[in-house]
Structure 1
């Protein structure tokens, strides 16, 4: 599996390959529709992106479908992905790693980031997967592409070609496993292509000290008290008019109160912002 694919998505892509082509090993990346890969002049993984898209134009008539690779990419899908992923060139070899990256791109389109962050349900994500891969079943009764569906049927049931190849219980189990893996930090720390919905892990704030344990609070309090006492002695306030005494004391006390209440611990204790 390509190293840029997040762990949870890697589990799902392995499961998709096994469901789509019947195997998840290295050879799974060379499979074409109907397992007709032996009829090709060379393996898919030895061909370039451009060569495969060109060849797929004839596969629908020759083999019944243009589906190619471990994720059974249709010709229209590969053309569309090449337009969306500008780093892809027609001369790039259709390697397993490239197929994994393209498969992951399809998962993102179908709501993988929203699924692991809880924005869409497991049932909805499963239906999205069933729309992309016909071998996957829907998990509840719903309207399909061609008719009303029951749980366990392919989204494309009724077209005379497609049917679900895996039980809904198995899909549910795999998706639940993926949610478990996705909750681990490495799922969002992956070096995969950026996802708008990656979830940052909050950094806990250090606990705030109670006011009674704040050394700064007691320092300011004692300093303020000492300043008032010193002022009374030095200025000989008792000889001044009582109104002047009050004014001086108000100024001194005001500065002391401002200094103390400016401390974060005190402001928190007082409910100030």
Structure 2
């Protein structure tokens, strides 16, 4: 289980789940953590206070470890993340101003070095979406022998992976989640062209509809009345009236539909 530390108090909050996993798989967290050496002090004559040593002192200690007659592994792994002499020297060579010989190998230094190694293996490219998770997992297995490859075993022959690949994936998911917390969300306004209906369209429709209504309504009825006064056949007058009523209803319906359509368009545009 990874430890959750307040982001404001932890400079490596984003990477902390991965750092904690390495501390677990390397077996150092069950020992002295940041002060742990390979085989729990077997090649250093017992416990040592690594966090109070300078990087120059660390280099000297690791050289002694490599000379130890019982060190069949030929390893000089030190600290919570079991950084060997070759790796420590390379980091110091890459960043001499950051890691002078006088700097202490304290918790801050060890966390920083481990994060540098995570970066070398591609974790930042992974977080940026430029490196696949499988590639990152296999890269990390090359840096820390206790981590598994995507095949579920250690990268180096005879090396047993301390956790499953699924566990590594879950930890990386947490790293990705933490990374996303501080990423700004950019909102981009996208203009979409919409058909614009002039304000006077609805009024024009009403005017025309009113005119047609008058024509087929009031005007039509007047015509029927005049025909009656003029002595037209009552059957012809009735037939004409029926036609006018039907036409009137059609235009009233058409008028309502036109106005409704215009309002709907204006609402969408508005």
Alignment TM class, shorter chain as reference: 0.5 to 0.7
Relative to the length of structure 2, the TM-score reads 0.61
How many equivalent residue pairs?
184
Q: Check the 8 A contact 1:32/1:72 in 2, yes or no.
A: yes
Aligned to 2:109: 98
Aligned to 2:218: none
Extract unaligned runs of 5+ from structure 2: 197-270
Extract unaligned runs of 5+ from structure 1: 140-150, 189-200, 214-273
Aligned to 1:169: 166
Q: Check the 8 A contact 1:137/1:154 in 2, yes or no.
A: yes
Q: Check the 8 A contact 2:40/2:47 in 1, yes or no.
A: no
Relative to the length of structure 1, the TM-score reads 0.60
Q: 1:3 aligns with which of 3, 10, 21?
A: 10
Q: Deviations over 1:41-87 (max 9, x none)?
A: 74111111100111211212324420000110010100110111222
Greater Cα radius of gyration, structure 1 or 2: 2
What is the aligned-residue RMSD (CA, Å)? 2.8
Residue 183 of structure 1 pairs with residue 194 of structure 2:
no
Q: Deviations over 1:205-237 (max 9, x none)?
A: 456698999xxxxxxxxxxxxxxxxxxxxxxxx
Alignment of 1:1-273 (within 5 A): 3-5=10-12, 7-23=13-29, 27-36=32-41, 39-40=45-46, 42-62=48-68, 63=71, 64=73, 65-85=75-95, 86-139=97-150, 151-158=151-158, 162-185=159-182, 201=184, 203-206=186-189
Q: Check the 8 A contact 1:21/1:31 in 2, yes or no.
A: no
Which contiguous aligned blocks of 4+ residues in structure 1 show a shift greater than 6 angstroms?
209-213
Which range is displaced more, 118-127 or 61-70?
61-70
Q: Check the 8 A contact 2:28/2:34 in 1, yes or no.
A: no
Q: Check the 8 A contact 2:152/2:164 in 1, yes or no.
A: yes
| 1:206/1:78 CA distance change after superposition, 3 Å | same
User: 1:40: how far off?
Assistant: 4.7
CA distance in 2, matches of 1:83, 1:72: 19
Give the match's secondary structure for 1:39.
coil
